[in-house]
Structure 1
């Protein structure tokens, strides 16, 4: 049974990867519809031939890596179960210590180490790819430092979650999923509150914006949007990337307006103000809270489905996976496997919600700044800096894109510009 499951798993992964390779490199068409050719959304109008070629090539490889990495994680957890490694981790933990909480820590450490080693090649390929196309400027030492921070941060958070979750499983075999979800609500809010001031500074240095004139203009926008900000922060990202970004993050008193220094270096003040107006829209329309609420609804459904699927799997394949009960710590790879698959399956819906919010934020920025030229040119520069496709294939947008495509965003700005011109012409007459 175990051998058959493993064979089917490898075959499914191979066919999945082959399908997306064929789709991205031979079937998908990222060319612009005829009506957009020659418009400001046409990459041929703002990218040279080399940039056009590189953006297409880089995007296809990057998307393929995503579609290979996600199911590879599922395959990894499957083989951890089939090869008895989960049982071995538990045996090692019981030999190491008699204390239950330390046994959980030891088990999770071994599972995390094996997972990190298994995923490291794909992570490195992604880093190397970004470096090869001059998106990343990060040194290998800096990249490894962030990888280690990721490892220990994820380990710490996962340890807390696993300790609570498996304690609940033992206390209530039928309601653990509901109690676990209820406890996740304050935990999620707590992490969101801490992220700008505790987690983010682990990766980057944040300091007040040096350009005080620009800071004053941004804070004036923030005041119009009723955002309680006294400072704008910039973060030194030029040592890591050539990409551009800006965001408003955090909740309550920890809310922060942040600009990457690459954005400050490559965009004009007018372009930056348009982008900041877009980011402020997320705060004004309370997208942070909407996203928290949405993720909690998704997680409630996900926890219930995980509960049902874990019970069914243990009953049917418990012997093959060497799991005696759902509450047995050896079932953790199965739990992570199911959660990862559910996240992938639900990603089109969460992406659709995110794209709606981003569209709303673009419209807010247009109304606030009235500067469509700054918006169009900033989006063009974002495409150039990140070598991103203006019109990505459907399945890429469906599974990956949390933002509207650059074609959609620039076209929206052009339409607004044309309407404004028409209005002015009518008023003039």
Structure 2
């Protein structure tokens, strides 16, 4: 991957698009082009080494007997199985967090170096600690229920676990906007009431029930821009980063909001939920077949006796990580299709292709985005179409309309 990303791949612009609005040379300076190329290559390389590194860490924890050590520590002075499993997870979670901390710190410093992050170290550490506890508590609930099911049903645990993931996923989507997101940033009603009225007018045209647009203070953390519609039911929210408000014109903001509304109108949230539920079913079933086979064959090497023992958790996490990585091309393809559909909806709603083009150009500039990423990088990393494709789609749409 190093040679592919840094030496073999070409992210040049097709001849037919050179000099057009999709060509980054027309809207980015030479320095921005250089920084974009450098930053993208480093980020892409980190992505492709981190996942295999995660697999190696889990194998190391199992093969060295460290998992058994965590299990013994969790049994000291504790009676209840649930509490013991929770203690084991804490030791495992803390160990991996410490192990990957240098990588996370490097990524933070990299983002600062290239002018994407504006966050000071103390603020970043605060978010890092919040991430740790939010991730730990969420995982703790899953692990406790999962290993309880493994104890009561050796054959059908995967089916029961899958059935329980459905209400849990819906619950997490419901509380995300009002409990989890505010832990990181302050949300408040949009200060620009004239703009809020125009956004709500778009929402009304799209039949989105909303009385307020929320603004979030991201300028103290990043120069990147974003906007989204999140949550379900009464907790659904239209959210704008203040960086988007500060750096884009009104027409560009309205186009971006129309794009986010397109996801809502076309039920992408619910389609994504259905896909998650289906993929979870397949994933749990595969693990129920693969994991016992691995324990039977390599249990002595991995130091695992039975799947229901909590020290088998690193193997469980390894298989999940492996399947997620292998499924990335499919999930990303679906996501890119949905993003394209949301772009088309936004163009239909706003009737302003110039704002669409300029908003994509500004997003690429501020985020130092790779306008035309290499093929393998695109299929494994990109949940959105490349900026080259998005801008060119607007141009094609305009031609079709004319």
TM-score, scaled relative to structure 2 = 0.99
Structure 1 residue 418: Cα displacement: 2.4
Pairwise CA distance, 1:98: 1.7
Match of 1:311 in 2: 292
Residue 106 of structure 1 and its aligned partner are, at CA, apart by: 1.1
Asked if structure 2 preserves the Cα contact closer than 8 Å seen for 1:323 and 1:331, the reply is yes
8 Å contact from structure 1 (residues 274, 366) kept in 2: yes
1:384 to 356, 365, 370: 365
Q: Give the deviation of 1:383 after TM superposition.
A: 0.2
Residue 45 of structure 2: which of 43, 57, 64 is its match?
64
Cross-structure match for 1:339: 320
Alignment of 1:20-419 (within 5 A): 20-419=1-400
**Greater Cα offset, 270-279 or 70-79:** 70-79
Across the aligned residues of Structure 1 and Structure 2, the Cα RMSD in angstroms comes to: 0.7
Residue 17 of structure 1: aligned partner: none
Q: Distance in 2 between matches of 1:226 and 1:417?
A: 25
Please tell me whether the aligned partners of residues 177 and 307 of structure 1 are also in contact (alpha carbons under 8 angstroms). yes
Q: For residues 4-15 of structure 1, what are the structure 2 equivalents within 5 Å?
A: none
CA contact (8 A) 1:93 1:106 kept: yes
Contact persistence 1:30–1:391 (CA under 8 A): yes
Distance 1:325 1:315 in 2: 9
Contact map agreement 1:277 1:364 (CA 8 A) in 2: yes
Give the CA deviation at 1:413: 0.6
- Tell whether the 8 Å contact from 1:242 to 1:385 is kept in structure 2 after alignment: yes
Superposed displacement of residue 119, structure 1: 1.0
- Where in structure 1 do 4 or more consecutive aligned residues deviate above 6 Å? none
Report the Cα distance in structure 2 between the residues aligned to 1:87 and 1:98, rounded to whole angstroms.
Answer: 18
Distance 2:56 2:104 in 1: 16
How much has 1:170 moved relative to structure 2?
1.0
C-alpha displacement of 1:101:
1.5
The alpha-carbon deviation at position 419 of structure 1 amounts to 2.9
* Cα separation, 2, equivalents of 1:189 and 1:73: 28
